[in-house]
Amino acid sequence: MAATDADRDTIRKAIDAADLNAVRMALYQNTGDPALAALPLAKDMSDEQRDTLRQQAVDWLLANASNARLPEPDDAELRRLLEMATGEQLGDLEFAARREQTAFKDYPFLVQWGGDRPDIPADFNAVIVGSGFSGVVMAVQCQLLGIPYTVIEKGDEPGGTWNINRYPDVRVDTISLTYELSFEKDWRWKEYFGRGEEVRTYINHVSRKFGVFANTRFNHALAKATFDEAKGKWLLDVDTPNGSERMETSVLITATGLFANPKIVDFPGRDDFGGEIVHPARWPADLSLEGKRVAVIGNGSTGIQMVGAIAEQAAHTSVFQRTPQWIAPRDKYGQPMEPEVHWLMDNFPGYWNWARYMAGAPLFDTHALVCNDPEWQAKGGKVNPVSDAMRGELAAYIERETGGDRSIIDRVLPDYAPMSRRPVVDNGWYRALTRDDCDLVTEPIERFSANGIVTGDGTEHPLDVVVTATGFEVVKYLWPAQFFGRSGVEVHDFWDSGDGPRAYIGAMVPDFPNMFMLYGPNSQPVSSGPAQSTWFTIWSAFIGRCLMRMLREQAATIEVTREAYDSYNKALDVESRNLVMMSKEGGIEKNYYVDNEHGRVLVNAPWYGPVFQNMFADPDWDALELRRESAPVG
């Protein structure tokens, strides 16, 4: 189909706004023109090369624009294309990790039966707890395998964290093109970094489009799960609007996320405060900040994201910072996606795939940033060359954004290495601090008073509204529900008897057969590789593989062996030791990634991304025990 609906000017505008590396790759895939293969990356092209490429793309699109989708090239060709796209040689592990990132398939990463689909017993089913991103992906995975499932969701719509977080200017801080799901390719983001409302709408759309919504019971909260040894099933006590309900399931999958439970800090005098106290995850729909004196406590990703918008509305804004953060800008943050770029995605076969691939590719190169380099440190470096360089760039960014104001810079410059905490994206935070009607408060909070907050220096800051952006109860995994495993031990008691929550590859705990966690302990990759939503797909596919194995082998249960759990965690502790976040330079004890009580990494998987990914794509079956009949241990 030729491009009858777009003239040269429109196409030129689209190509000018496009990612030129993605344009080159899509054009090459469509034309096979060797001159395109010989071009360097866009950043290294001459002006003439750039202009010729753009012109060639416009001419080609005028004649050939179409809404066709390109088939996935064979392995050898795909590898050649991926290497051409970023100008890097890829090892086997790297190729395996990246190949589906281009999303040419209908359901990248997810698993499907080949010709060997066994009969699925009539009573085999799964219950998925949570209807956020990960729960919806898991449900689609079950659906692809023909496994009956029910999603139970404590809220009244899909969306998870995007459902509960409705504070001013909430939005994604990874580019939407990579944050969207690789199997739902038809979404046209309004902005490069989609707003919370749009992400919520997107998850709702995916849930409905793939039939998950119809299998979801909203306003259903899991209270207790008990493994019934005799039946080989999980018995669930679920709180519903009509009281407690009993459900039974062969497989229990928790998809309750990291950020389900707000951390409510019990500040002294909190109850004395005469104004309103709000946690961002409980933002009242009718809250007006117009003309009010507002405080924001906390400068994690949440606090940072909202201050610019709050300062626009409030009469006065006070930002209470306990620990400075490294805060980085993002290209195109806050910018609308041009309609011409949407046109390109619809009419330039392969462009969507390569734009997505190129947007995510830098994330595959971040592992060096999070590891110590002892040789570099012996020569006087702080962490490693890339980390130290990033530190310099971010410090220069602070200078620029604050207009060189030392009274701000000296208080916001962190004394630890970047990437030791979750990276925070700037949304006009530094600029807001330079406003006359905005104060940065770094004196510790002593107590709340009737009129405001009193800090350690005795100053009372008069306030009408206090926003406590103090984060979430991240490491209370699975809380507040209770889970009783094969031998009757509750999972939190099991964890408390050791050194806190642990899991095998973030997903399984011994003695808890047929139970899987999405985003369990130590599952957040320390250096990302794929975007987070893709990890949900990778983890769901692992669970899919386990269920396929069970069904093929007519097993009643699958569980991780105690030996595999112990040796995995031992290796994880060793690997974690080299992380910047665990070192003094990384600011250990200043971090939700690191659990101070146990002195260890509790949220992150320390592995190089492709190594971690491979643990799910190619499971170590020796670590997992399948039993024909569920029977007592011993």
From 72-80, 92-100, 182-190, 302-310, span contacting ligand NAP (CB under 6 A): 302-310
Q: How far apart are CA 411 and CA 408, in angstroms?
A: 5
- Decide if residue 259 touches ligand NAP (CB under 6 A): yes
602 binds ligand NAP (CB under 6 A): no
Task: Give least dist CB 61 to ligand NAP, A.
Answer: 34
What distances in angstroms separate CA 271 from CA 239, 277, 322, 445, one per listed residue? Answer: 30, 10, 22, 15
- Contact call for residue 141 and ligand NAP (CB under 6 A): no
Residue 534 contacts ligand NAP per CB under 6 A? no
What would you measure as the largest C-alpha separation in the chain, in angstroms?
Answer: 75
Helix (H, G, I), strand (E, B), or coil: what is residue 247?
strand
Closest contact distance (angstroms) between CB of 477 and ligand NAP is 15
Q: How far is CA 321 from CA 32, 276, 295, 429, in A?
A: 55, 20, 11, 12
Binding mask 406-425 for ligand NAP (x = CB under 6 A): ----------------x---
Instruction: Decide: is 192 part of the binding site for ligand NAP (CB under 6 A).
Output: no
As given in the structure block, the two tokens for residue 537 are 């797909």
| C-alpha–C-alpha distance, residues 449 and 457, integer Å | 14
Determine the residue type at 609: G
- Is 301 a binding residue for ligand NAP by CB under 6 A? The answer is yes
**Length of the chain in terms of residues written:** 634
**DSSP type of residue 71:** P
* Cβ at position 103, least distance to ligand NAP in Å: 21
Please tell me whether residue 435 binds ligand NAP under the rule CB under 6 A: no
Shortest Å, Cβ 452 to ligand NAP: 15
Which residues between 58 and 77 bind ligand NAP (CB under 6 A)? none
What phi and psi values does residue 558 have, to the nearest 5 degrees?
-135, 140
Tell whether residue 592 is a contact of ligand NAP (CB under 6 A): yes
Strands lying side by side in the sheet with 438-441: 276-278, 465-468, 293-297, 316-320, 438-441
When CB distances to ligand NAP are compared, the closest residue is 300
Closest to ligand NAP by CB, 172 vs 579, is: 172
Judged by CB under 6 A, which stretch of 217-225, 293-301, 338-346, 625-633 contacts ligand NAP? 293-301
Of 354 and 472, the one with the shorter C-beta distance to ligand NAP is 472
Q: Is 322 in the site for ligand NAP (CB under 6 A)?
A: yes
Contacts of 161 (CB under 8 A, 6+ apart): 132, 257, 259, 260, 281
Give the other-Cβ count within 10 Å of 460's Cβ: 14
Of 37-45, 90-98, 139-147, 469-477, the window that binds ligand NAP (rule: CB under 6 A) is 469-477
Q: Does 455 bind ligand NAP (CB under 6 A)?
A: no
* Contact call for residue 470 and ligand NAP (CB under 6 A): yes
Q: Choose, by CB under 6 A, the member of 49, 64, 201, 323 that binds ligand NAP.
A: 323
Q: What's the first-to-final CA gap in the chain, in angstroms?
A: 67
Least distance from C-beta 324 to ligand NAP, angstroms?
8
To 10 degrees, what angle do helices 339-347 and 8-17 make?
Answer: 100
**172 contacts ligand NAP (rule: CB under 6 A):** yes
At 440, list the tokens: 């940065």
Mutual orientation of helices 47-64 and 8-17 as an angle, nearest 10°?
Answer: 130
* Residue from 108, 303, 418, 586 binding ligand NAP (CB under 6 A): 303
Stretch touching ligand NAP by CB under 6 A, among 171-179, 387-395, 612-620, 622-630:
171-179
Taking the complex as a whole, the smallest distance from the CB of residue 266 to ligand NAP amounts, in Å, to 9
Q: Are 297 and 303 in contact (CB under 8 A)?
A: yes
User: Least distance in Å: CB of 581 to ligand NAP?
Assistant: 13
Nearer to ligand NAP, 108 or 471 (CB): 471
> What count of other Cβ atoms lies within 10 Å of the Cβ of residue 374?
10
Alpha helices in 324-384 (DSSP H): 339-347, 351-360, 374-378
173 scored as a contact of ligand NAP (CB under 6 A): yes
Neighbours of 277 (CB within 10 A): 18
Q: Given the rule CB under 6 A, which residues bind ligand NAP?
A: 171-173, 259, 265, 297-303, 305, 322-323, 422, 445, 469-472, 590, 592
